Amino acid sequence: MPTETAAPGPVRLAGALVALQGLTALVYALFALVRGIFGLAYAGLAYGDAVAFLIIAVAFGAPGLLLLRGRRGARNAAVFVQLLVLGGVWYNFSPAEWVTLDLLISAWCVAVLVLLFLTPSRHWYAPPQEDEPPAA
């Protein structure tokens, strides 16, 4: 059984980026809730948005914080949510609307994925076994 090692810098940076996505979703959930409470939007829709974005905030915040703490299992969840966001962005991509935002969100997700698949990150997540030959 491998001994526990501290998470390398790329993993911690990826965790911070994923946690920031969760924080952004939490801020929007609170914004939607306030809009519903003060009648600035239809209450049913505002509360529904708040609940949906609260779920999204947890889905991103938990793996992000766990990666920051160096928990190996959170890497899979972080990769999964980044792939979901990338798919959603490119599914809704329209060259006439919000191209810059789509590209920025895509770059953010790709940056997180690259950080999580760098060699130090992969060796931290699954250290090479003693009986495996070294990679060429």
Q: Compute CA distances 38 → 30, 41, 54, 94, whole Å.
A: 12, 8, 19, 33
- Output the tens digit of pLDDT for each of the chain's 136 residues: 455 678 999 999 999 999 999 999 999 999 999 999 998 888 889 999 999 999 999 999 999 999 999 999 999 999 999 999 999 998 988 887 888 999 999 999 999 999 999 999 999 998 877 766 666 6
Q: Given this model, what pLDDT does residue 39 score?
A: 87
Q: What is the pLDDT of residue 133?
A: 67
What is residue 107's three-state secondary structure?
helix
Does the predicted model carry a pTM greater than 0.75? yes
* Inter-axis angle of helices 74-91 and 43-68, nearest 10: 140
Distance (Å, whole) CA 24 – CA 135? 39
How high is the pLDDT of residue 1? 43
The residue ranges of every structural domain in the chain are: 9-125
